[in-house]
Amino acid sequence: MTQQEQVENQPRPLTEEQKEQEDYKKETKEKMAKFVVGGTDTVGNIIKRIFSKGDEFVIYDIRSYALTAG
């Protein structure tokens, strides 16, 4: 391999926009990993069932509590 080929094959530094995109992807994956049965959502509800989960969304059921008049 020539020196020119070696230079061309080296990874280029990420642009600011690419860094932001990578950070967003990482943060989203971390947030989505927290949605598990028995875990809590962002407002503290306990997750009872998960119906569907995608890259950026989750559809789930929460445990409901009986309200009693006091």
SS3 49: strand
Dist CA 65 CA 34 (whole Å): 22
Q: What is the pLDDT of residue 7?
A: 64
Instruction: Give pTM, 2 decimals.
Output: 0.64
Contact call for residues 62 and 46 (beta carbons, < 8 A): yes
Q: What is the pLDDT of residue 70?
A: 56
Q: pLDDT tens for residues 6-57?
A: 667 777 888 999 999 999 999 999 999 999 999 999 999 999 999 999 989 9
Domain boundaries, the chain: 36-64
Q: Tell me which residue of 70, 44, 12, 54 sits closest to 62, measured CA to CA.
A: 44
What does the pLDDT average to over 47-68?
Answer: 89
